[in-house]
């Protein structure tokens, strides 16, 4: 086979399915439909500067953040595509208080639930900086013949069957894993297809940058301040975009560490375990990286208690996460 031949996302996921005995194609269909939603959101993100869709909607989401119009648009499109897919029985979104049951198609019971952050980094939209979409897929635990329940969503990250993100940047890239490595697909706008561009992504063991909102430095715990001082001592550069997808995307390719520790405003961290931390942790671990919280627990092992639960996070290159862990162990007994 010609190795230069273009491999589209659809072709890739079907090929992957064929490698697993017993695969029925349902997950394949679901991933394909998420790819379609990503293209629709991408079109709108790109048009955002032209049409009157910009600006604050004037409401706050479940987690108290200001919601912008494009968040709602992305949210609606994802729900629509998942509804039409017929493979997803219920969804949960960062923008919606409770999970939503989706009607089945032709009485066929759907096996999966999908959780997503429809637009990550939404404060960046008005200023033309990269934003993203994050998704996480679980097999439902409840009886397929009845309605789904909260237990279908409150599973540990280890139980994810797939997770991914889309970054709407200088180009639009979809990165996903089903637990067999991580692959990236770049949208070719001329043919409207995601094409395989980054095969078997491996995160570097360390990188030249650390990524944290250093404006909150004085609000961090002592051990975190010590670790940040250490990064500065090592002459590491600081990069912080304000969109976790964009920051983690850079780290996946160039190495580094992303931190959202506890602050006075967000003692349990700001980021959502189910919509942000778990899917990104699954991807980063699959690429050889690590993700822990500030109690040094592996993100993927945290037992979620509620849909909108927050978590602190340190995620990225394995050696850097280990080093941060050592700082926390050394300084956390000392009071600031
Ligand atoms: P969202 O736009 O989905 O609410 O997520 C924004 C998140 C995350 O992407 C980013 O890293 C972080 O919030 C930035 O928060 P600060 O402005 O507090 O640093
Ligand atoms: Mn987000
Ligand atoms: Mn969001």
Question: Structural domain tally of the chain?
Answer: 2
Q: Which of 33, 71, 87, 152 is catalytic?
A: 71
Is 71 labeled as catalytic in the residue annotation?
A: yes
The CATH number that applies at residue 47 is 3.30.540.10
336: in domain: no
Q: Which of 11, 65, 80, 188 is catalytic?
A: 65
Ligand nearest to the CA of 244: 1
Task: Check whether residue 231 and residue 156 sit in a common domain.
Answer: no
Give which of 165, 78, 90 is closest to 121, Cα–Cα: 165
Ligand nearest to the CA of 213: 1
Domain closes at, from 198, 218, 236: 198
Domain closes at, from 198, 233, 262: 198
Side-chain half-sphere exposure of 171, counting CA atoms within 13 A: 15
Task: Check whether residue 194 and residue 213 sit in a common domain.
Answer: no
pLDDT tens by residue, 276-326: 999 999 999 999 999 999 999 999 999 999 999 999 999 999 999 999 999
d(CA 289, CA 153) in angstroms, rounded, equals: 25
d(CA 88, CA 314) in angstroms, rounded, equals: 31
Range of the domain at 217: 209-331
Task: Check whether residue 230 and residue 148 sit in a common domain.
Answer: no
* Distance from Cα 118 to the centre of ligand 2, integer Å: 8
Q: Whose CA is nearest to atom 14 of ligand 1?
A: 242
d(CA 139, CA 111) in angstroms, rounded, equals: 6
The pLDDT of residue 55: 55
Is 72 labeled as catalytic in the residue annotation?
A: no
Q: Which of 26, 87, 120, 285 is catalytic?
A: 120
The CATH number that applies at residue 314 is 3.40.190.80
272: in domain: yes
pLDDT tens by residue, 127-159: 889 999 999 999 999 998 889 999 999 999 999
Is 10 labeled as catalytic in the residue annotation?
A: no
Q: Whose CA is nearest to atom 11 of ligand 1?
A: 244
Token code pair at residue 248: 């983690």
Task: Check whether residue 191 and residue 219 sit in a common domain.
Answer: no
Pocket of ligand 1 (CB under 6 A): 65, 94, 117, 120-122, 213, 242-244, 270
* Distance from Cα 120 to the centre of ligand 3, integer Å: 4
98: in domain: yes
Task: Check whether residue 180 and residue 312 sit in a common domain.
Answer: no
278: in domain: yes
3: in domain: no
Give which of 84, 131, 127, 108 is closest to 243, Cα–Cα: 131
The pLDDT of residue 336: 43
The pLDDT of residue 238: 98
16: in domain: yes
* Distance from Cα 290 to the centre of ligand 1, integer Å: 20
Task: Check whether residue 176 and residue 61 sit in a common domain.
Answer: yes
Task: Check whether residue 242 and residue 165 sit in a common domain.
Answer: no
19: in domain: yes
Domain closes at, from 140, 168, 198: 198
For the CA of 121, the nearest atom of ligand 1: 2
* Distance from Cα 130 to the centre of ligand 2, integer Å: 12
- What pTM value is reported for the model? 0.94
Task: Check whether residue 126 and residue 28 sit in a common domain.
Answer: yes
The pLDDT of residue 81: 95
> 47: which residues sit within 8 A by CB, 6+ positions away?
53
Maximum alpha-carbon separation in the chain: 62
Q: Whose CA is nearest to atom 19 of ligand 1?
A: 213
Task: Check whether residue 16 and residue 162 sit in a common domain.
Answer: yes
Q: Whose CA is nearest to atom 6 of ligand 1?
A: 121
Best residue among 96, 120, 211 to mutate for probing ligand 1's pocket (most ligand atoms within 8 Å of CB) is 120
* pLDDT < 70 positions in the chain: 1-3, 21-23, 49-61, 63-68, 333-336
Task: Check whether residue 170 and residue 267 sit in a common domain.
Answer: no
217: in domain: yes
Task: Check whether residue 75 and residue 215 sit in a common domain.
Answer: no
Task: Check whether residue 240 and residue 169 sit in a common domain.
Answer: no
Residue in the structure block whose two tokens are 């404060």: 123
Give which of 238, 248, 221, 259 is closest to 164, Cα–Cα: 248
């Amino acid at each position: 086979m010609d190795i230069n031949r273009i491999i589209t996302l659809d072709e890739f996921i079907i090929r992957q399915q064929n490698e697993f005995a017993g695969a029925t194609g349902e997950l394949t269909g679901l991933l394909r439909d998420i790819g379609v939603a990503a293209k629709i959101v991408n079109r709108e993100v790109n048009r955002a500067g032209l049409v009157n869709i910009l600006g604050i909607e004037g409401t706050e989401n479940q987690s108290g953040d200001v919601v912008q119009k494009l968040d709602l648009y992305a949210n609606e499109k994802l729900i629509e595509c998942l509804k039409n897919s017929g493979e997803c029985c219920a969804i949960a979104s960062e923008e919606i208080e409770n999970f939503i049951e989706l009607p089945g198609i032709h009485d066929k019971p759907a096996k999966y639930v999908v959780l997503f952050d429809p637009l990550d980094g939404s404060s960046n939209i008005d200023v033309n900086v990269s934003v993203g979409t994050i998704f996480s897929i679980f097999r439902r635990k409840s009886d397929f013949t009845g309605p789904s329940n909260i237990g279908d969503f409150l599973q540990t990250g280890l139980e994810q069957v797939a997770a991914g993100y889309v970054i709407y940047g200088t180009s639009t890239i979809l990165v996903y894993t089903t637990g067999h490595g991580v692959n990236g697909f770049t949208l070719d706008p001329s043919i409207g297809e995601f094409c395989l561009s980054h095969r078997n992504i491996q995160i570097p063991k360390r990188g030249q940058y650390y990524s944290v909102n250093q404006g909150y430095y004085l609000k961090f715990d002592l051990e975190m301040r010590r670790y940040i001082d250490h990064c500065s001592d090592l002459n590491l550069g600081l990069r912080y975009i304000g969109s976790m997808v964009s920051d983690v995307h850079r780290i996946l390719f160039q190495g580094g560490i992303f931190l959202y520790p506890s602050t006075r405003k967000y003692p349990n961290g700001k980021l959502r375990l189910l919509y942000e931390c778990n899917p990104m942790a699954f991807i980063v671990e699959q690429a050889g990286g690590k993700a822990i919280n500030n109690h040094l627990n592996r993100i993927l092992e945290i037992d979620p208690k509620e849909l909108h639960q927050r978590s602190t996070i340190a995620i990225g290159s394995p050696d850097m996460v280990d080093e941060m862990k050592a700082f926390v162990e050394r300084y956390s007994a000392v009071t600031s």
